[in-house]
Structure 1
Amino acid sequence: MTSEEIALIRSTFAAAAKQPDATAALFYAKLFTLDPSLRGLFHGDMRAMGEKFISMLAMVAANLSHLDRLLPTVRQLGERHAGYRVQDAHYVTVGAALLAALAENLGPAWSPAAHTAWSKAYDLLSSTMIEAAHQAAQKKAS
């Protein structure tokens, strides 16, 4: 990712994070609209999950220029999500929900450049999580 794309992610996240509860609620609403079956993977307090979601996005935005710090945490997240029965195809839906929620939340501040930057970042994160989940499953099977 370019430094301009990273800066764009940071600035758009900062704008979305001004209303963290609304941003998280919008994301989950989009996610469950796109695939209602995913609701069954979520147990417990959705507000607390929303806080974790926003915290993870903040960590990502802060560390995109330091992948050596970011990717180990993302790998651990992928391993945990495998235990939650998350399937590879779910990552596509999550990405679509994330982009749609950011676009709606940010309105005119959302641009094609922001969409591209977030898409690149999400592709990196989701592919890292999927790879980690596969590796964890292989270790468990051995």
Structure 2
Amino acid sequence: MTPDQVKLVQQSFAKVAPISETAAVLFYDRLFEIAPQVRAMFPADMTEQRKKLMMTLAAVVNGLANLDSILPAASALAKRHVAYGAKAEHYPVVGSALLWTLEKGLGEAWTLELAEAWTAAYGTLSGFMIAEAYGRPQAAE
């Protein structure tokens, strides 16, 4: 990721944060629509899960300028996801749901440049997490 991409991701997330509950609902609704098989990995009541998602996203976005600061937590998260039944092939689906959510949440502010920045951020982090959890890097775009 370039410094400009980091800045774009951080600025855009600042616009999403005030609508975090709505964004989390959009994300999980989209995820379960495009990958219904993953629904069983989640609790019936998604309230806490949605909060965790947005807190994790905020921590990652805030740490993008200093990736080394967030990699230990990302590694631990990746390993926990294995225990929940997550597989490497789920990462691209999650990325797709995330980008879709951001596009819907940001509306006209969603540009090709912003999509590329978020794709780079997600690709960097998910590639690392896949390698940590499964021992092999895999493209996750």
Match of 2:107 in 1: 107
User: What corresponds to 2:139 in structure 1?
Assistant: none
- Unaligned 5+ residue runs, structure 2? 136-141
Q: For residue 4 of structure 1, report the CA deviation from its aligned partner.
A: 0.9
Query: Distance in 2 between the 1:26 and 1:98 partners?
Result: 9
The equivalences for 1:48-59 within 5 A come to 48-59=48-59
Structure showing greater radius of gyration is 1
Farther off after superposition, 93-102 or 42-51: 42-51
Identical residues among aligned pairs (%): 38
Partner in structure 2 of residue 82 of structure 1 = 82
Counterparts of 2:130 and 2:110 in 1: how far apart (Å)?
A: 27
Whole-angstrom CA distance in 1 between matches of 2:52 and 2:44 = 13
Aligned residue runs from structure 1 range 1-142, under 5 A? 1-135=1-135
Deviation track 1:23-68 (CA, whole Å, cap 9, x = no partner) reads: 0000001101111111011025311111110011100111001111
TM-score (norm 1): 0.92
**1 CA distance for matches of 2:62 and 2:19?**
18
Q: Partners in 1 of 2:99 and 2:78 — Cα distance?
A: 20
Q: Say how many residue pairs are matched.
A: 135
Corresponding residue for residue 138 of structure 2: none
